[in-house]
Structure 1
């Protein structure tokens, strides 16, 4: 497996389907009423497939599907697996906070170095921010692994419903 595939936290895929886009979208939307295993919502040519609230855990993924028309008889389906928007926003906030603290400690260390005072604490705090970033990355990878069985369920549901 290449390094580029190994780092991906939000897997993506695309499939060309020899069917009109509206047929695929209607099949996905119609499945709302025929099953209880997934929550499906559609907005224009975007379909969101989620695990029901009572079966969700913190790391439960969702599948965002976009169906674009190529011509009258073909469409292109784009899929994106990801955590719930709340989890994703929380992790992005934490990454941003760690980055800002790292820069702040760097400025503080540079200021102390310019004033010929000790800056060991600031450098240690910068190193600690790097460790926290690695912990956040590992937590994201662990969360993705925890949600992998549900990702497979979402993918299988999409394939069965869209008749791929």
Structure 2
């Protein structure tokens, strides 16, 4: 097994594992492990896609979710791709805020330029244009803080996945 990871700066860490086992066999390992009585994780398995969530009683706003894609390359060669990230609702909310800040930045930049061209008071628009990148940086660091809060759970999900994949 060979594991490749991206750098730690990403808010949604990814990894890739190569296996000399069939796709069906790896999926069956997950199905078996997730159905065990002592398994605390919530999950969904659809074809080669597996989503694993932390238990409901340990779940908080920043709890991560592990998305696993098991792709068949050859008969007994498989790639397991994984993505850790927030729940889709949290990620969508964050992306909406980033988009809103970007649109507001462009809008207030145009407003500041027009007011400057017309030689009217443009201090309000300029203040907003300066403040929005600060807000964007603050949102980035909030995401990093959230990732740090969910890091222990992310490690637990990763170790559960590795135990499942290495199980004979």
**TM-score by shorter chain over 0.5:** yes
Match of 2:57 in 1: 54
Q: TM-score, normalised by structure 1?
A: 0.94
Is the 2:64–2:85 Cα contact (8 Å) retained in structure 1?
A: yes
Spell out the pairing of 1:11-160 with structure 2 (5 A cutoff): 11-34=13-36, 35-160=38-163
Cα distance between partner residues in 1 of 2:7 and 2:164: 27
Q: How far has the Cα of 1:6 moved from its partner?
A: 4.2
Cα distance between partner residues in 2 of 1:113 and 1:6: 42
Is the 2:33–2:39 Cα contact (8 Å) retained in structure 1?
A: no
- Please give the secondary structure, in 2, of the residue aligned with 1:5: coil
Structure 1 stretches of 4+ moved >6 Å: none
Root mean square deviation of aligned Cα:
1.3
Q: TM-score, normalised by structure 2?
A: 0.92
Unmatched tracts of structure 1, length 5 or more: none
- Please give the secondary structure, in 1, of the residue aligned with 2:145: helix
Number of residue-to-residue matches in the alignment = 161
Cα distance between partner residues in 1 of 2:56 and 2:87: 11
- Please give the secondary structure, in 1, of the residue aligned with 2:150: helix
